[in-house]
A and B are shown apart, each in its own frame.
Chain A
Amino acid sequence: MPIIINLDVMMARRKMSLNELSEKVGITLSNLSILKNGKAKAIRIETLEAICRALDCQPGDLLEYAKEEI
């Protein structure tokens, strides 16, 4: 998938576990897991906003576009 979610990278930088982030953002652990593993099909703006607030980062820190090699 061309959009890579660097959630684990930001979590490591902020030294935050998935449980803690789940509590702060108000999303279930399984949903965060889906996001972290790149299985999510879409992300709501309000979810992105909540994660950026919890991790004190920009959306660009979390989302990266990688061109698919032909």
Chain B
Amino acid sequence: MKLQTAIKILKIIVRIGFYLLLLFIILFIAVSVLRLSGGNINEGLNISNAVKVRSLDSEVTGRGTFNQQHTGSYQQISTYFFRPNFNTPAGYYLVFIRALYYLISLSILWLLLRTLDTISNTAFFHTKITRYIRLLAFMYMASDLLGLIDYFVMRAFLHQEFPAMHFRPEINFGEDLITGLIIFVITFIYARGVQLQEEQQLTI
């Protein structure tokens, strides 16, 4: 497949994804504002009011189940969904953090779109693209760091609401941070490409 064709297809896919996400964010904000103003929203539109949490059986009951030799134990991990009431600090926080996540995702798609637009219209190596890729890396890293902050804040809320259950929110920390770091390293390589292209253009 030719590069230009691949770029065109990617642009279409990313553009569709961008506008779908934008639509979703608008819907999310509209529902959140309606709920804030005390409106009665159909539960089917309750798109962001749940957090997946886990509870370790041993922390609730005070024990795991050991084998006869006491060389190991097993315990159940139960999965729940924590749904704070909307007009509570936990509810407001959930809306706020979800909005931040969606905005980061939208920024990532927008940067990708700008990168693809710049590649097709001008030279392949361009200082603008270096800037976009660097921002993309920061967005990925910010997403993971936000997840980490979210974990501790949500854990505090869970402990406050259900202290006996020892709930822990689910966390996937590290994947986006590593992705961001890899993209960041690629930025340096790309910037060198821009330099080489400039030198090549100024070689008579």
A contacts, CB < 8 Å to B: 27, 31-32, 34-35, 39-44, 47
B contacts, CB < 8 Å to A: 198-199, 202-204
Q: Report the minimal beta-carbon distance from B201 to chain A, rounded to whole angstroms.
A: 9
CB-based A-B contact count at 8 angstroms: 23
**A41 CA to B200 CA, complexed, in Å:** 8
Sampled A-B contacts (19; CB under 8 Å): A31-B204, A32-B204, A34-B204, A35-B204, A40-B202, A40-B203, A40-B204, A41-B198, A41-B202, A41-B203, A42-B199, A42-B202, A42-B203, A42-B204, A43-B203, A43-B204, A44-B203, A44-B204, A47-B204
Grouping DSSP codes into helix (H, G, I), strand (E, B) and loop, the B interface class, with mixed when no group exceeds half, is mixed
Task: List chain A residues, Cβ under 8 A from B198.
Answer: 41
Q: A40-B203, A42-B203 are in contact. List 7 more A-B contacts (CB 8 A).
A: A32-B204, A34-B202, A35-B204, A41-B198, A42-B199, A42-B204, A43-B203
Q: Report the minimal beta-carbon distance from B151 to chain A, rounded to whole angstroms.
A: 51
**A7 CA to B13 CA, complexed, in Å:** 52
**A32 CA to B202 CA, complexed, in Å:** 10
